Amino acid sequence: IDRKDFHRHAPDITKWIQQYFDQLEELPVKSQVAPGAIYKQIPDQMPQSGEPLESILQDMDRIILPGMTHWQHPNFHAYFPANSSVESVYAEMMTAAMGAQCMIWETSPAAAELEERMMEWLQRAMGIPKDWEGVIQDTASSATLVAILTAREKVTNFEANENGVPPNLRVYCSTQTHSSIEKAVKIAGIGRKNLVKIPVDEQMRMRPDALDAQIQQDMESGYLPCCVVTAVGTTGTVAVDPIPEISAICARHNVWHHIDAAYAGSALILPEYQWMIEGMEQADSFVFNPHKWLFTNFDCTAYYVKDADMLVRTFDILPEYLKTRTRGQVNDYRDWGIPLGRRFRALKLWFVMRSFGLKGMQERLRQHIVLNTQFAEWVEQSENFELLLPPFLNFTCFRFRPDGQTEEALNALNQALVERVNQRGKLFLTHTKIEDRYVLRMVIGQTYVEARHVEAAWAEIRSVAAELNLHAQ
């Protein structure tokens, strides 16, 4: 298609998107297709001659759509949301049109400088220390790897970069922290055996006393403690590790402290939740995902670091073809993370933050939190359901608990409940385990979710539970 003919098909695409949004609530939230069903429908070779866009769009509806799980459906309550917004979609379209590769300032000064500003806007709104610096990464997993690599270089005085990783480095996280930490220690050459999982208290938070004792014991045994990763909002139950105590322990032992707030970090734009990062001035780095609960399309991760020089020294590499006259005067973000190539991700943040405004974003998050409180009340008041933890933010952990069932039977019942709910397609839920109990996670975070959606979800959960209970008796 010639570029001057872009406008000819553009209305078909925007019409498709509008129809998608309009019919979204009628679609099954979780895709219902069997493994291999989509693959089988795609020819085994590319076409020899180009096909008309009309037939591609037909196949979009016929083949692709049934194989999609609809993350932007208001009843997407699984995992954590990857929410989006109309503003963010517009920006993504324009980003794609410009197709810039923003590896260094010179390859698009606007991308580098808008990124710097967007990171400052978020930093100020969220109460992140003023002297820290931010950069956009693709995912929290990459940002955590970046933090661990920087910590590794700091503790080895940049020897690991030059000569390889010594075998005695140690990284610490709680038993509840995300699998990305395990992945990062594998990639960083530190090794899984050197990742120590610290026990948690009854609220699933890392125990500072246990961390302190472990670091002490490791130092006495000849290990070199390198990094502690805490969570502000664990993936299983949104637990918040005690940041002030752990920051103080890390500062005392001179160990890098990285805070993973991938999900719950968005709530820091609400002053009433800034307590979650109290004490972080003593930490070293922090990550959160606007692509989870801040209306910005995947992928967009905000990574903040106290000592940006340490970060740049870890990743800096300068081949002849990347030498520029502006080096040193501007931020060349290729030096702030792993890939050389970078998308222009700041643009969608700019669209979202300008169009919503801080107040608009705060209102939307508070609305989700209110909906969650209401949902948790229904669970609590119901005879056959129980809360496993107090509701927190927009997250409730609960299970179906009819009388007279063993723990084993309850696990089976709750597993069957999730499977049947997801199969019926009106909502999508996932589970976690708390002390061997199979429990359900309800997350109310899709941008456009309203009270009626949550009411419908609760009615559906109860109806499936009643059906299962009849069969169980």
Residue 69, interface with ligand PLP (CB under 6 A)? Answer: no
Q: Taking CB under 6 A as the rule, which mask of x and - marks residues 84-123 in contact with ligand PLP?
A: ----------------------------------------
Segment near ligand PLP (CB under 6 A); pick from 230-238, 357-365, 381-389, 430-438:
230-238
Segment near ligand PLP (CB under 6 A); pick from 186-194, 260-268, 275-283, 420-428:
260-268
The nearer residue to ligand PLP, 204 or 410, going by C-beta atoms, is 204
The nearer residue to ligand PLP, 53 or 187, going by C-beta atoms, is 187
Residue 180, interface with ligand PLP (CB under 6 A)? Answer: yes
With a CB cutoff of 8 Å and minimum separation 6, the contacts of 185 are 148, 171, 191, 192, 194, 195
Q: Which of 212, 260, 284, 335 binds ligand PLP (CB under 6 A)?
A: 260
Least Å distance, CB 237 to ligand PLP, is 11
Question: 165 with 189: CB under 8 angstroms?
Answer: yes
Which H or E run includes 15? Answer: helix 6-23
- DSSP labels for 108-151? -HHHHHHHHHHHHHHHHHHT--TT-EEEEES-HHHHHHHHHHHH
Strand order of the sheet with strand 301-305? 133-137, 301-305, 285-288, 256-260, 224-231, 169-174, 195-198
Q: Which of 139, 324, 355, 405 binds ligand PLP (CB under 6 A)?
A: 139
Question: 138 with 299: CB under 8 angstroms?
Answer: yes
Least Å distance, CB 177 to ligand PLP, is 7
CA distance 171 to 260: 14
Least Å distance, CB 71 to ligand PLP, is 12
CA distance 317 to 337: 11
The nearer residue to ligand PLP, 195 or 262, going by C-beta atoms, is 262
Q: Which of 194, 266, 301, 414 binds ligand PLP (CB under 6 A)?
A: 301
How would you label 296-328 residue by residue, b for 16+ Cβ within 10 Å and e otherwise? Answer: bbbbbbbbbbbbbebbbebbeeeeeebeeeeee
With a CB cutoff of 8 Å and minimum separation 6, the contacts of 78 are 30, 428, 429, 430, 441, 443
Least Å distance, CB 346 to ligand PLP, is 17
Which is it for the CA torsion 419, 421, 427, 433, positive or negative?
negative
Residue 140, interface with ligand PLP (CB under 6 A)? Answer: yes
Segment near ligand PLP (CB under 6 A); pick from 133-141, 197-205, 364-372, 456-464:
133-141
Amino acid letter, residue 421:
V
Segment near ligand PLP (CB under 6 A); pick from 117-125, 255-263, 272-280, 381-389:
255-263
The nearer residue to ligand PLP, 292 or 334, going by C-beta atoms, is 292
Least Å distance, CB 229 to ligand PLP, is 9
Where would I find the beta strands (DSSP E) of 120-245? 133-137, 169-174, 195-198, 224-231
Residue 80, interface with ligand PLP (CB under 6 A)? Answer: yes
Residue 241, interface with ligand PLP (CB under 6 A)? Answer: no
Residue 394, interface with ligand PLP (CB under 6 A)? Answer: no
Segment near ligand PLP (CB under 6 A); pick from 206-214, 259-267, 359-367, 430-438:
259-267
Q: Which of 289, 296, 394, 396 binds ligand PLP (CB under 6 A)?
A: 289
Q: Which of 72, 95, 235, 422 binds ligand PLP (CB under 6 A)?
A: 235
With a CB cutoff of 8 Å and minimum separation 6, the contacts of 36 are none
Least Å distance, CB 142 to ligand PLP, is 7
The nearer residue to ligand PLP, 291 or 426, going by C-beta atoms, is 291
CA distance 110 to 346: 10
- DSSP labels for 77-103? -SSS-----HHHHHHHHHHHHH----S
Q: Give contact residues for ligand PLP (rule: CB under 6 A).
A: 80, 139-141, 178, 180, 231, 233, 235, 260, 262-263, 289, 301
